[in-house]
Amino acid sequence: MSWTQIFTDKPWLPEAAGEVPDTDTGKAPGQIALRMLLGAITILFLLFFVTFIERSQFQDFHALAGEPWQPFTDSMRLWVNTGVLLLASLCLHWAVRTSQKQQAILLLLGGGFFAALFVVLQVSVWQFLYNLGYGLAENPANSYFYMLTGVHATHIIGGLFALLLVGRKYLAGADTGVALRACATYWHYLFVLWLVLFFMLTRTPETYAIIAAFCGLG
Amino acid sequence: MVIALIILGLVVVTIVFHLLSPWWLTPIASNWQAIDTTIEISFWVTGAVFIAVNLFLAWVVWRYRKHGNNKAHYEPENKSLESWLTIITTIGVVAMLTPGLIAWGKIIHAPDDAQVVEAIGQQWQWTFRFPGEDNQLGGADARFVTPENPFGLDPDDPEGQDDILVNSQRLHLPLNQPIKLYLRSNDVLHNFAVPQFRVKMDLVPGTETYQWFEPTREGEFDILCEELCGLAHYTMRGMVVVESQENFAQWLSEYPTFAETQIEKTADLAAGKKLYGNCAACHGADAAGNEMLNAPNLSILSADYMARQLRYYRDGIRGAHPQDNIGKQMVSMAGIVSKPEDERNLLAYIQSLPAIASAPTREGGNAKAGAAVYDVCVACHGAEAQGKGLLSAPRLAGQADWYLYRQLKHYSMGWRGTHPKDQFGTQMRFMTQTIQNPERLDDLLAYIATLAPQASTELSVSSTGDDRL
Amino acid sequence: MSHVAIADQEAHLHHPKTFIGKYIWSQDHKVIAIQYASTAIFVGLIALVLSVLMRLQLGYPDQFDFINPNSYLQFVTMHGMIMVIYLLTALLLGGFGNYLIPLMVGTRDMVFPYLNMLSYWFYLLSVIVLLASFFAPGGPTGAGWTLYPPQAILEGTPGVGSGIVLMLLSLAIFIVAFTMGGLNYVTTVLQARTRGMTLMRMPLTIWGIFTATILGLFAFPALLVSAIMMLFDTLAGTSFFMPAIVSLGEPLEHEGGSPILFQHLFWFFGHPEVYIVALPAFGMISDVLSVHARKNIFGYRMMVWAIVIIGGLSFIVWAHHMYVSGMNPYFGFFFATTTLIIAVPTAIKVYNWVLTLWRGNIHLTVPMLFAIGFIFTFTHGGLSGLFLGNVVIDLPLSDTFFVVAHFHMVMGVSPIMVLFAAIYHWFPLISGKQLHTGMGKIHFWGTFLGTYAIYLPMHYLGFLGVPRRYYALGDSSFMPDSVHSMNEDITLAAIIVALFQLVFIFNVIWTLRKGPKSERNPWGAASLEWHTPDVPPDQGNWGDKLPTVYRWAYDYSVPGARQDFIPQHVPEEDVDYEPGGRKSHKT
């Protein structure tokens, strides 16, 4: 049934009384819930980005890339981290598709391991920045970098807990098809989110000005 | 049944209350009649809906209440009725919105010939700035604020040099002259609101906002801060005085330009010492005060504070209450230094004396309980009661407790702080009310006494920063 | 996987044997609902006491030595925050949402019972963190419930050290709790409805809760963003919201931040929050009115559309809280227009409530009294909103007592009327006992008339220009002495209203202990929740077999039927029609 049909339905009509229409949507509740959750997380980050772009247009904002001496003009470290998170995502991608339990377990472990490794590597990026003198409160650009990567890492850690729970059930032999697929979707989502973060946090001042103008925040 | 009558009754009560209530918009004193008109239109529209809906509700409840074997009507929807109601509602909304938006269009565009004025808010006081001859306000920012430059003007901006600084909570404005009021805050959000002018706008630190209006009636109107700005939010009061162009010009000419306030003035300590001979009889050669003669400890006070008090004595702002005999003595003494350089020399000399803390004389207060009373004083007078120059809050630690007692009494009795030109009088009167009773006053003084170093010891004298002694 | 399988999955349900398993670590939506509700009512009572304390200061300034400007602001702040978030949001969604959704859509439990349980425990944790701030050094924050920076995190505002941090942490935890619960409510409504329960057959209660939950899921992130950024500002010294400041004589390290940015974030959450509270209330009151007037809700489709449209519009009106904030003044045109547009669907809801009563068979029961009271208070509060939404009128009125009166009429009194209507209405279902009618009526009259006595005069104090959040008014030339005596009277009325709530508490305790057993469907309601095999419903709600739904939730006084209601799960052939069968009616 289309949405217009649903909303223009007249449920009181005598003809309708007594009918038992099919209300099946054919989707698992886990999928719906996950979509809502990802929607909420998307809004969370979207709002962070809006404030970020607006803040980037203030005079005291010094972007982390652009000039040769700035830390992310060469962002090799972050590319390495990206690779690690991609591996995590791929592991879960294959884990839900393989039919062999042994292989699936190995891939699940891999997905968890690489995700955890990514968090550790992100912490090492913080140390790298800090040692360069880019402290948390020195500049709003730094503050945003620490905060957004921190919030992203928190989401990964939350995901690791979920994966742990699902993995335990899977080992115990329970039917975890939907839950595992949800984990995989979540992993892919966090990977894409990281790409967006990576892009947003390492632009030059000129790019920020363009984005801000484009969003009407300039 | 009863509920139908009560709803009917409430509608009647509401209408009667509306008609008889003594509280209504204060008589307008600006050009924003359009706001009042929009309110009136809204009253007619919403009033009609309120009466119609509730009378219908009361009738329906009475008419269709359960009685006998009556049965409800079965009517799932009535499209034409609902459409009509929607259309009528929309018309009502448009009737209210249109005059509102038209007026808003005027409110956000200040006319080009408007007189530019700036109001500066800081916790919890108002000051003002006029642009001077060039009609341009110079740049300003919280980062420039120093004890010598409390308004935070950019010292290098040529446009700011002739700006006139009004270090007072009273803003005079000329009648029938459009005013574009820029708003700037050095600390938190504030809001400049004058009920009679109708318009209001927040002061936002880090940026400048504005409002404009044209005063259309002479008189004195309260300025209220209407954005929560901390514990003494409610004491952040000022006054707008609307007067003729001539009186306004006369008033404005009394205030210095920024450049004038930045001139370093030298003082002659020898001349000051000579002048102090007049004071020494009561306040003592060491300026540490004398309880027998009701003379407070001056050695711990800042020159700015003493200068303000001397001016208040001279101008009848302090010590003018008919029963304040001690105050009257100071009124005549303050006249001795009515020449600015005399005053400067005298105060420089007092400043050069070592600060000496007075010994506590009062007993019976519970210092621990007093700490809770001091809770509301700490923001301005400091955790150590050291005073804060930028906030014009005098040092309390080391001051004679009998003197503090008397001043707090005077504030609460209205002997001090009631004069409209007393810049911090309203605030201190509000604050003394939080003491509430004599026991708490004793506690408070006992607590302040614990903040002072032991009696008659020398305090370290520093002449910089907030605790300028 | 089909919905029926989901709704009827026995494997989902655990059947705890021990007391702790059944009442503490319970995954049963009904127990969780009661846990949510009792916690919310408990903190709500604290907030009620706080409001009386602040009224004492306003009515009798400087008479009580435990109230000073600091503690006054702390009372104001905590009262507001607790009432809006920890009472109303938690009670309407966590309490009634949890209890009613599975019963009204015909499922055995929420789709994720474990998550549901976690939701409650996180909520409890947030409440504990919030209450802990009362015992923290410096006490709770006194920044106003809007927590505007820079003030909220600077000296000169009470609770600046730990109070504000605990407040922000508590909010963050609450948001996590809400998200866990919210995912459950939405998914359960979308996926676990029983056979025949189409979306347009759902009671409006479910529509209201469902839409409000979606609003919550998408609006609370804004609050989380602002809370996280403010935590960084206060703990790590960053400058997200903090410009260069000289705070009480001390220059600070901050530079360049934007306080208005916080306000946008806060109200992007804050305005939908109004409807997160209002929409479930709209839904529940519709059902109460319909049941007790023995008549279908008037214009059901219009009511559903209005809920959805109001929900959607609520995301584009937020800056009407910021007309005088110093934002770009051109926003005023847009937000005034959207705000007044939202009045149209809201007005339609009011009309339809009254038209539901029209030609009904009105049983003046206690829930019905509260419902009629709600129509009155909500009409009043809604109409005063048209003043504040119209940008130019907001100039003289913003931050005066008019604002206080307005939002207490719409967001305080009105939802409270609905909550009481709902409690009196569903109490027999929840406990198997009916609250005492006499005490209920006393409670109603005290609350209804008392609150109007509080808030009607407040509007006029606002017109005069009396500012809100003032510890003391002092004397101003424009405030006559009558303002001060009115403040005394308002305080008296507030104390009386608070005392009348004791009648309610006594009624609940008395009824639970001594009250007679009620009939299983005392109001003759047609919606599913009253038709479980056991009342109160047992674990799993529906015994062996889930109900099948054959009609909408509002078949009251159907022409031709002998009974004045036909339950949703009764098939057409089982309906007891008079000879001639179902008569048609105009549509």
In a domain? residue B398: yes
In this model, does residue B345 exceed pLDDT 60? yes
Q: How far apart are CA C200 and CA C271, in angstroms?
A: 27
Mean per-residue pLDDT of chain C: 92
The pLDDT, as a whole number, for residue B457 is 47
Q: What is the mean pLDDT of residues B290-308?
A: 93
* Residue C32 scores a pLDDT above 60: yes
Give residue C3's pLDDT band: very low, low, confident or very high (50, 70, 90): very low
Q: Does the beta-carbon distance from C330 to B206 stay under 8 Å?
A: no
Average confidence (pLDDT) over C119-139: 95
User: Is there a single domain that holds both residue B338 and residue B455?
Assistant: yes
Q: Which residues of A touch C4 (CB under 8 A)?
A: 24
Number of folded domains that form chain B: 3
Q: Which of residues 32-91 of A touch C (CB under 8 A)?
A: 32-33, 36-37, 39-41, 43-44, 47-48, 51, 54-55, 58-61
pLDDT of residue C13: 55
Q: What is the pLDDT of residue B466?
A: 38
* N- to C-terminal Cα separation, chain C: 37
Pairwise CB contact (< 8 Å): B74 & C467: no
Final residue in a domain of this structure, among B239, B261, B283: B261
Domain assignment of residue B34, given as a range: 2-64+80-107
- In this structure, the answer to whether residues B443 and B346 fall within a common structural domain is yes
Find tokens 């409800």 and name the residue.
Answer: B72
- Cβ <8 Å between C191 and A27: yes
Q: By percentage, how much of chain A surpasses pLDDT 70?
A: 97
Q: What residues of C are in contact with residue A61 (Cβ under 8 Å)?
A: 256
**Closest C-alpha among C531, C551, C550, C549 to residue C541:** C531
* Residues B124 and B194 both lie in one domain: yes
Q: What is the pLDDT of residue B454?
A: 52
Parallel, antiparallel, or unpaired: how do β-strands B209-213 and B219-225 relate?
Answer: unpaired
Query: Is the complex ipTM higher than 0.95?
Result: no
In whole angstroms, give the CA distance from residue C295 to residue C524: 11
Same domain, B139 and B84: no
Chain B residue with minimum CA distance to C295 = B72
- What is the Cα–Cα distance from A81 to B21, expressed in whole angstroms? 69
Indicate whether B72 belongs to any domain.
Answer: no
Of A8, A16, A20, nearest to C195 by CB-CB distance is A20
d(CA B300, CA A93): 75
The Cα of B393 is separated from the nearest Cα of chain C by a number of Å equal to 10
Query: Does residue B89 sit in the same domain as residue B205?
Result: no
pLDDT at B101: 95
Taking residues B445-468, what's their average pLDDT? 60
pLDDT in tens, A118-154: 999 999 999 999 999 898 988 999 999 999 999 999 9
Residue pLDDT, tens place only, C451-505: 999 999 999 999 999 999 999 998 888 899 999 999 999 999 999 999 999 999 9
Q: What is the distance between the alpha carbons of residues A71 and A133, in angstroms, rounded to a whole number?
A: 10
* ω into C150 cis (within 30 of 0): yes
Q: Cβ contact (<8 Å) for C295 and B73?
A: yes
In this structure, are B122 and B90 located in the same domain?
no
Say which CATH architecture domain A75-203 belongs to: Up-down Bundle (1.20)
- Tokens (6 digits) for B339: 């020449």
Residue C215, helix vs strand vs coil? helix
CATH number at residue B128: 2.60.40.420
Nearest by CB to residue A36, choosing from C183, C198, C572, is: C183
Nearest-neighbour CA in chain A from C239: distance (Å) = 6
**Residue A109 phi, psi (nearest 5):** -60, -45
Residue B70 inside a domain? The answer is no
Of residues A6, A10, A143, nearest to C238 (C-beta) = A143
Residues of B in contact with C160 (CB under 8 A): none
Mean pLDDT (chain B) is: 91
Q: Which of B111-115, C430-434, C570-574 has the lowest mean pLDDT?
A: C570-574
Q: What is the mean pLDDT of residues B246-260?
A: 95
Quick check: C93 and C177 in contact, CB under 8 A?
A: no
Residues of C in contact with A14 (CB under 8 A): 582, 584
C396 touches chain B (CB under 8 A): yes
Pick the last residue of a domain from B225, B241, B261. Answer: B261
The pLDDT, as a whole number, for residue B461 is: 43
Q: Which of C150, C344, C396 sits opposite B198 (nearest CB)?
A: C396
Inspect the interface and report whether the beta carbons of C240 and A143 lie closer than 8 Å: yes
Of A16, A36, A54, the CB nearest to C261: A54
How many residues are recorded in chain A?
Answer: 218
Nearest to C464 among B23, B380, B434 (CB): B23
- At residue A6, the pLDDT reads 78
Q: Can you tell me the mean pLDDT for C503-525?
A: 94
Task: Give the chain A residue nearest C570 (alpha carbons).
Answer: A18
With contact defined as 3+ CB pairs under 8 Å, the chains touching B are: C
Contact check, Cβ <8 Å, B375/C400: no
| CA angle centred on B89, ends B86 and B94, rounded to 5° | 125
The model's pLDDT over A25-44, given as tens digits with 9 standing for 90+, comes to 667 888 889 999 999 999 99
Task: Indicate whether B133 belongs to any domain.
Answer: yes
Q: How far apart are CA A38 and CA A32, in angstroms?
A: 10
Contact across the interface for A9 and C258, Cβ inside 8 Å? no
